[in-house]
Structure 1
Amino acid sequence: MTSAQQPHAQQGRSDEREQDGGLGTAALALGLVAAGTGLTAALWSGMDGLGWAALALGLIGLVVGFIGSRRAFHDPQRSGGMSLGGFVLSLVGLVVGAWIVVPGLLGIGTFGEGLTLDECMAQAQGQQEERMCASQHVDEYRARFGDPGTG
Structure 2
Amino acid sequence: MFRGHSHRSIDPKGRLMLPPDFREILDAGGSGGKLVLTKYDGCVVGYSLSEWNQVQAKFTQIKNPSRQIRNFMRVFIGGSEILELDRQGRVLIPQSLRTYARLDKEVILVGVGIKFEIWNREAFEEIEAQDFDDVADAIAATGVEVGF
Same fold (TM over 0.5): no
Select the structure that is richer in helix.
Answer: 1
Structure of greater relative contact order (alpha carbons < 8 Å, 6+ residues apart): 2
Select the structure that is richer in strand.
Answer: 2
Larger radius of gyration: 1
The TM-score with structure 2 as length reference comes to 0.25
